[in-house]
Amino acid sequence: MVGPVPEGMTISNGSMYATMYKSPNNTRAHIVAYKLKNVPNRYIMQKLPWLPWGQFTRLASKIKISPHIKLGHGQAFSATHKYIYAIANDHLLRHSSQSEEIMQISKKNLQIKRIWTFKIWNRSAKDGRYMHNATFLNDNKFVAVYHSSTKHRFEYWKVTRHGDSWQPVEIGATKGEFMRNNSPVQGIAYDKKRAHIYLAFNDYLFKVNRDGKVLANGRFHTGREFEGICVNNSHLLINCQRKHGILIP
């Protein structure tokens, strides 16, 4: 029994990976993984508790579940060819100069292989950039968004790995607030082909370029929280809360 709260999602090489928590305030969770081709229809997974036993065991045999591991809030969660990456942050921290942890997780056994500690700041270590949302472009690079509520801007940072060091560079910023109700960012995705950054709020999506200029926005009426987004094969996918589901806008 895992869940019932999803907080992050990524799709890679035909497999879906989701972070499932017992409550929204937990920082440890399970990763649930399954190949999309093994799901016979789009609704069957929500019927697992009352499926006939034979059908349940056939579906369950294709699902992998990680140990209960530290994943942070689950919205700095993405995958590369061999690994899953999570920044194990505390989503209750704001304007913090504390360090964060990067978890490199093997896709084979869904267990942690490496842990790095990093901290981003601007000019002074006391002026920290505590990241809540990030997406990995490959095993050596990720893009993160930082929301400064005091300066009323969103900053975009590219962080590159050299050996075991992670070096940050601010690549752009958007002045002003996207949302007037203090809604937090619920996910970030990066389209490598078009060099676009996508930001998700609840029922709102924004597309910005690498410099931070807003290119487009859209609104939905799902009645459910967005909980993580990703780009897969040039398609943007949205993870929804309660009941857990994936949307393609």
Residue 189 structure tokens? 């995705």
Q: Give 183's pLDDT tier (boundaries 50, 70, 90).
A: confident
Of residues 57 and 105, more confidently modeled: 105
Q: What pLDDT, in 10s, does the model give residues 135-148?
A: 999 999 999 999 98
Distance in angstroms (rounded) separating the CA atoms of residues 241 and 222: 10
Residue 245 predicted with pLDDT over 80: no
pLDDT single digits (tens) 106-133:
999 999 999 999 999 888 888 889 999 9
CATH number for the domain that contains residue 206: 2.120.10
- The whole-number pLDDT of residue 25 equals 86
Domain limits for position 149: 5-247
Indicate whether 1 pLDDT > 80. no
* Residue 121 contacts residue 103 (beta carbons within 8 Å): no
User: Using one digit for the tens of pLDDT, what is the confidence trace for 203-239?
Assistant: 899 999 999 999 999 988 877 888 889 998 888 999 8
**Lowest mean pLDDT segment, chosen from 106-110, 180-184, 245-249:** 245-249
pLDDT at residue 248, rounded to an integer: 67
Q: Which residues contact 134 (CB under 8 A, 6 or more apart)?
A: 76, 78, 87, 142, 143, 144, 145, 159, 188
**b or e along 124-135 (b: 16 or more beta carbons within 10 Å of the residue's beta carbon)?**
eeeebbbbbbbb
pLDDT tens for residues 63-112?
Answer: 999 999 999 999 999 999 999 999 999 988 888 889 999 999 999 999 99
- Whether the CB-CB separation of 135 and 123 falls below 8 Å is answered with no
* Whether residue 31 has pLDDT greater than 90: yes
Strand ranges, E, within 163-248: 165-175, 187-191, 196-201, 204-209, 214-219, 226-232, 235-240, 245-247
Number of domains in the chain: 1
* Structure tokens belonging to residue 179: 């949302």
Residue 70 pLDDT: 94
pLDDT number for residue 234:
82
DSSP-derived pairing of the beta strands 133-138 and 141-148: antiparallel
Provide mean pLDDT across the span 170-178.
92
Token pair 């790995």 is at which residue?
161
pTM: 0.92
* DSSP structural state of residue 151: T
Percent with pLDDT over 70 in the chain = 98
> Measuring CA to CA, which residue among 44, 53, 12 is closest to residue 245?
44
Is pLDDT of 249 > 70? Answer: no
Closest-CA residue to 200 (of 150, 141, 138, 249): 249
Q: Quote the tokens at residue 176.
A: 């002003």
* 220 contacts 206 by C-beta, under 8 angstroms: no
